[in-house]
Chains A and B, each alone.
Chain A
Amino acid sequence: MKLLVCDVEGTIFEPHMIKDTDHASYIWTKIADELGDAAKAEEIITQKKWKANAYGPKDSGMAYINWVKDSIHIHQNHGLSAERFTQIIDSAPYVSGVREFFAVLNRKEYIPVLISGGIQNLNTKACIDLGIERENSFAACEYYFNDKGEIDWNLIFVNSCNFWGKEEIVRILLRKYGLNRNDWIFIGDGVNDKTIAEKASFSIGIKPVGGLADIVDYSFTDFNDLLTCQELLGNTRLVVKK
């Protein structure tokens, strides 16, 4: 048995870019975009602060958490409603071939795991659609809304599952399922996946950016492309034929 560790935004779901930045994610930027120009401008400021280490050293546990909290406040301050948020989640487009890939995933040999620096609600959509256990889905936070339809801050618990935090979760899961340190495959797309891809004994990039292509063993444009690679599928037994 092995873990199939998947990044979410940009890997499972198509990324969303705000113009004038080189930062890509689906959920954070998409929400800011939907909330209007002022929210979008504030989101870009948080990205600049991140790059300038204004949230603390990037390898510390709290830097990413502080960035996420800032981003949540932007959503709160600009009135993200439950209804609009649900629309954004529901309309998130999958990368081509994702559904087909998970439909034939060899689940007797692979436990699918989602680790995202984004919002759990998007992961949950993927868990339901792709047959992934909720307890194997990790994200930076999860949104719940109060009776007025506003984000309920009391129920926001911010997680460190990006950068070094991704690796920590893999360690936990390997131990939980009684697996060895090499019993996992990683699939990712972006610069924040480089560290974890380096640690994986085998890694795959989906339209990789930010230098990830130099690290991964295989790169594909999407999951349809991956499904045509007989060498990969033969070596890993990732999928079963129907």
Chain B
Amino acid sequence: MHVQGDFIHSLAMHLQEPIKVIAVFDNGVRPVKFRWNGRVYPVKEITYTWRTRHGHTSIVHFSVTDGTTLFELSYNPSTMVWRIEQVEA
């Protein structure tokens, strides 16, 4: 049987690429802009944040939008590396 349901998640691109981010560190961390694929994206809204544990490290995840696209960024405080985890059209 074929279902024409709108599967938002199936439109997501999983990337896990390191990226450069301009962030504010003030009572936590907050991304402001990031560069990906040669383009700079402003963070217009942080829609959700959550943490995951990877061994001793607590990685911070941000769902952010530039107004048109939803991105998932992650920040590893122990390596200070930002990654773009996912892009949802």
Q: Do A and B come from one complex?
A: no
Interface positions of B (Cβ within 8 A of A): none
Binding site for B on A (CB under 8 A): none
